[in-house]
Structure 1
Amino acid sequence: MDPRRLLLTTALSAVSAFASAASPFDAMLERTVEREDLPGIAMGVVEDGKVVYQRSWGVRGDAAGSRIDPDTLFKIASNSKAMTAALLARLVQQGRLQWDDPVTKYLPQFRMHDPWVTQQIQVRDLLIHNSGLGLGAGDLMLWPEPNHFTRADIIAGLAHLQPVTSFRSGYAYDNLMYVVAGEVAAAAGGKPYDQLMREQVFEPVGLQRCQVGAWSTAAVGNIAQPHVRRAGRNTVVAADGVASADLPSMAAGGIRCSLNDMLRWMQVLLDPERVPGWLDDAQRRQLWTLHMPMPLGERQRRWDNAHFSGYGLGWRLSDMDGQWKVAHTGTLSGMYSSLALLPDRQTGVVILINGEGEDARTALMQAALKHYTAPDTVQGVDAWLDELAQARAQRHEAGHHAPDTKDARPAAAAALAGLQGTYRDPWLGDASLCPQEGRLRFSVEKSPRLQAEVMQLGTRWLLRWDTLEAAAQAWLQPTATATPTLALRAIDPDIDFSYDFQDLHFTRTGDCPGNDGTRR
């Protein structure tokens, strides 16, 4: 047997004290870890309102030998949105705001590109992805983290993001509106968002380890670190320092919780009597009412036997084998989460992964839910993983993949001489295309991780970011007009949508600084 597989098998045999040796979920989890070579995972299942399965496995990545346990904190990413929606629901229940209040009632400085939309957009609209903006528009103000954008910057930047559809006419997932929603909560509640989240959600629900806002990672401890695959190994990236900053993205995707927290969260959502009066029936219905139709994909239709799909307030709603399903996922670099509820049977599943786990969370969640929705046709995770891998291979064969850029070479310092200088994008701000230490460099002032060496590949120019993965590379497309401009385009058609390079429009504003600090 391969030594790595022997080690994996030995480690997986050490079953968590919370997991039954006979549980069908053990086989699902173990096979997923083996197939996808995950660094770490935590999974829990609530059935009829009770925790029936809880398993933690793998390494945190913050210190040698550190192991994941049920109290290990994970970035839950966009599963934070449901908590933000619950916070707003609490404020509505307390009479501090209404769902149909205009956003400008609480944030007079709020502006969209269209003045009419500015006037019409309501609090509810902030949570259901119907703004008319494109998929992930403006996300480069949030990610990659850390950066120097503030929530005020993000709200100001919205006015410069042009819509791609009319308001409320279609669904396009966005994050910036949740940042606005967090600021609406702060204005209505009279306290910062993070303080309100702790007081209105974490404390009454009993989420003892969840963290939001600025907090000491050194004091809290037991924190999973994100991993990516490099040279065939799981490698920690963007590891925590001694403190976690007050990130502008927190209302959209900045909360961290443990497996124990997420199990408690599911139980309270499924059974209101666990915390009587925390959310009344009217507000619970608001959260899980379909407010915005979503496209029903071919795979979802086939896998789930689904007939509808839509967005509630912080939740995706659909049917699965004739049963009502309420779910969401969360994705950050090196961190994946998934939570799904079957409310009519008080059942739910949560998965937290600290590695590149997109296929893992999809297949494992599918297998776990089918255990309840279609028990007579249950198949192992292999079948789901095989289909995902096959679909990806077919896309690659059809030419839907990033071009080979290994032959790109560093551009000379004098390259693009007539186009070098400082630039500005209306919402991302200042940038520069200037020589540094004999190389041509591109840098975004407020985003320290958007720093790149300019590469040349034939007649094209490529941005190879210093600290981002190869999949995030972008074409640099300069235009030599009276006032030069720069455009960026992703080279990988499957790039994460938060790299919204296509929405950037840089215009030259001045010369590069000389070695003596003067402009040239």
Structure 2
Amino acid sequence: MTSRNRLSMQPARRRGVPATVLLGAAFLLAAQAAQAQSPAPPPPTVEEIDAWVEDAMARWEVPGLGLAIVYEGESYLSTGYGVRELGRDTPVDAGTLFSIGSCSKAFGAATIASLVEEGKLRWDDRITDHIPWFRLHDPWTTREIRVRDIVTHRVGTGSNQPLRPLVTDRRDYLMRLPHTDPDHTFRDRYGYTNDMFVLTGHLVETVSGTDWDAYAREKLWNPLGMATTTARMAPANASPNHAEPHAIIERRFIGNAATTGMPLEPVPWQYAEDVTVPSGGVITSADEITEWMRFHVGTHPNPPLSRSAVELMHTPHTVIRNPSSWMPFEGPGAYAMGWSTGRFGDVTGVGHGGNALGFNCSIALAPERGFGVWATTNRNSELPWVLTKWAMARFVGTEELRSRDWHAEFERSVAEGNRRVFEAEEARQAARLDQGPSVPLEAYAGTYRNGYAGELRIRLTDEEVPPLMPAEGRLGRWDGTPGVHERPAASASAGAARNGARNGSATGTGESTGELRLVAEFDGRERPVRMPLEHWHVDRFDMWFGDVRIGVSFMLDATARVTGVEMDYYGRFERVP
């Protein structure tokens, strides 16, 4: 079922758009950019787009999809397809709110640009000039990191998602970064990082004196007419027109979440908004993202930033030799400021991808042609990236790009990724030893600590604790606290049973099961985060954080005394006497 904004369903009148010249990375882009550009192909009709999208949604098994296209600087299409929630007559339309994941990063960079234009920041200010307590893994990097670095993916900190359920706010998160090892040397190459966009949010709040959502609303969204766009789950979920995320019903599925042929279920929204925005977490609609795209291609009547600021945000800063599938270009490219950029046929593509539990998003621009496309789905799917590549090819691409079977290319990628994952799991199973714990279970119990995750308590208990924590939106927010938009109680009970909770709620009832088991417990944002340990072999156990397996290996000395724990994602913990 197609639902459309009738005011924007017809192609806009054609209007020329001044060419935008993107600077930087001359050795990478200049030669191609200097070539004469071929004329843009005739655009597909709205009816062609409708037919393609509806077939694609069936192919990728997507419940609902939002789509916005800007062509020659004006809205060409703003619409929705499918349903907001499976099993309900709730059509998606141009005003339906979706969570856009890391497509939020461009908003983060734009709030920094706004502070620069206000004269409150400079791009080359040291971070410690504004946040004196900030530290990284070594003193030199701490001293030299500048504002420009934190939005260009070149610092080396990576993405410490395992910290999200354990910290109370952005400062708590950032204070733990000195305890992590860098992914690469500072400024030596591209390395995707959510951490530095967490820092972006904290920097904006520190310098502006207001929270990031309020600052983005005042400086960006209100001037652009994006009235319902937000970085807060509560108001989005209070809207009668928001999409529900969906996830694969099967628990502990280790393959790609976009895998088709597997039943889906609606799940609650999740995002640690007080920690990670604007690394992700912005929520918007097709109608409102249209205004964002018009601003970036230079045709919005009320731009919140100067054109030079926009062009700087599109300028290559960090070379990307092997682009990810969500990037709107072919071959080597670069990361700019909250955007990736590179050549897509005869045009320069600028864009980003986004992922959250039950949502995927893709945005791609060709500013020199006044073109933009945004697609989002309410399940994890490759379709937004397939759709943006197809649309770019049809509107501004070469004949070769228009002839590509984008569906098949992304389907092969999913199948190959699943093959590698499943083969690795088979090898892991084959290497498993038929040997029990080397010491009694009570010998593992105790308190352990490291600077990254804090205190870890291993308890031996017969209390009812689900083997699969209510994480990743299954029964509540992925940090183990109740979801903002809860599912009905009956659905929650069914989910608890599937998660292995024989009795009571997903957080445990405190009732005895008569069976002793080890449980790992961390201090969480609002309550302890608890995960049962399942014995694998010898002194190795597994615990499950939603659909993510975490290996737990206990370390013993020569006297068989347990001295520490090595835990996937969280590192080594030393036992506290």
Do both proteins adopt the same fold according to a TM-score greater than 0.5, normalized to the shorter chain?
yes
1:86 to 98, 110, 121: 110
| CA pair 105-387 structure 1, distance change in 2 beyond 3 A | same
| CA pair 121-272 structure 1, distance change in 2 beyond 3 A | farther
Name the structure 2 match of 1:346: 370
| CA pair 119-274 structure 1, distance change in 2 beyond 3 A | same
- Per-residue deviation, 1:450: 5.2
1:166 to 162, 181, 185: 185
Query: Counterpart amino acid of 1:233?
Result: P
| CA pair 284-152 structure 1, distance change in 2 beyond 3 A | same
2:329–2:341: 8 Å Cα contact kept in structure 1? Answer: no
Distance 1:449 1:62 in 2: 33
Distance 1:62 1:179 in 2: 33
Name the structure 2 match of 1:475: 551
Name the structure 1 match of 2:266: 236
| CA pair 54-381 structure 1, distance change in 2 beyond 3 A | farther
Query: Counterpart amino acid of 1:223?
Result: H
The worse-fitting range, judged by mean Cα deviation, of 321-330 and 206-215 is 206-215
2:239 to 206, 217, 220: 220
Match of 1:443, SS state, is strand
Structure 2: give runs of 5+ residues left out of the alignment.
Answer: 11-44, 251-261, 463-515
- Write out aligned runs for 1:35-434 (5 A): 35-61=59-85, 64-133=88-157, 135-136=158-159, 138-142=160-164, 148-213=167-232, 215-217=234-236, 219-231=238-250, 232-239=262-269, 246-276=273-303, 278-297=304-323, 305-306=330-331, 308-357=332-381, 359-371=382-394, 372-375=396-399, 377-392=402-417, 395=420, 399=424, 403=428, 415-434=440-459
| CA pair 398-34 structure 1, distance change in 2 beyond 3 A | same
Distance 2:167 2:267 in 1: 19
Structure 1: give runs of 5+ residues left out of the alignment.
Answer: 1-10, 490-500, 511-520
2:73–2:299: 8 Å Cα contact kept in structure 1? Answer: no
| CA pair 295-185 structure 1, distance change in 2 beyond 3 A | same
| CA pair 70-105 structure 1, distance change in 2 beyond 3 A | same
- Per-residue deviation, 1:392: 3.2
- Per-residue deviation, 1:293: 1.1
The runs of 4+ residues in structure 1 deviating greater than 6 Å are 298-301
1:87–1:196: 8 Å Cα contact kept in structure 2? Answer: yes
Query: Counterpart amino acid of 1:258?
Result: S
Name the structure 2 match of 1:453: 532
Query: Counterpart amino acid of 1:271?
Result: G
Match of 1:274, SS state, is coil
1:32–1:381: 8 Å Cα contact kept in structure 2? Answer: no
Distance 2:414 2:272 in 1: 37
1:141–1:149: 8 Å Cα contact kept in structure 2? Answer: no
Distance 1:468 1:245 in 2: 15
Query: Counterpart amino acid of 2:384?
Result: R
Deviations 1:441-499 (A, max 9, x none): 1222226695322112344634342x612xx112211111467222223xxxxxxxxxx
Distance 2:322 2:272 in 1: 37
Query: Counterpart amino acid of 1:97?
Result: L
Deviations 1:388-430 (A, max 9, x none): 245336535865878559x999x99x85432221222312222
1:288–1:317: 8 Å Cα contact kept in structure 2? Answer: yes
Query: Counterpart amino acid of 2:74?
Result: K
Aligned length: 470
2:448–2:576: 8 Å Cα contact kept in structure 1? Answer: yes
1:460–1:475: 8 Å Cα contact kept in structure 2? Answer: no
1:506 aligns with 2:573: yes
Distance 2:169 2:357 in 1: 21
Match of 2:274, SS state, is coil
The worse-fitting range, judged by mean Cα deviation, of 434-443 and 76-85 is 434-443
Match of 1:352, SS state, is strand
| CA pair 192-396 structure 1, distance change in 2 beyond 3 A | closer
The worse-fitting range, judged by mean Cα deviation, of 35-44 and 385-394 is 385-394
The worse-fitting range, judged by mean Cα deviation, of 100-109 and 446-455 is 446-455
2:233–2:269: 8 Å Cα contact kept in structure 1? Answer: no
Deviations 1:221-263 (A, max 9, x none): 32222211115321122347xxx87521112112111111111
| CA pair 450-403 structure 1, distance change in 2 beyond 3 A | farther
1:28–1:364: 8 Å Cα contact kept in structure 2? Answer: no
1:28–1:380: 8 Å Cα contact kept in structure 2? Answer: no
Query: Counterpart amino acid of 1:426?
Result: G
Distance 2:95 2:316 in 1: 33
Distance 1:245 1:445 in 2: 15
Pairwise CA RMSD of aligned residues?
A: 3.1
Aligned sequence identity (%): 24
Name the structure 2 match of 1:518: none
Distance 1:403 1:484 in 2: 26
Name the structure 1 match of 2:58: 34
Query: Counterpart amino acid of 2:264?
Result: N
- Per-residue deviation, 1:304: 5.2
Query: Counterpart amino acid of 1:453?
Result: P
Name the structure 1 match of 2:517: 439
Query: Counterpart amino acid of 2:522?
Result: V
- Per-residue deviation, 1:310: 0.9
Query: Counterpart amino acid of 2:392?
Result: L
Query: Counterpart amino acid of 1:32?
Result: A
Deviations 1:289-313 (A, max 9, x none): 1111112349799x9553x311111
Deviations 1:180-203 (A, max 9, x none): 111211222222222211111111
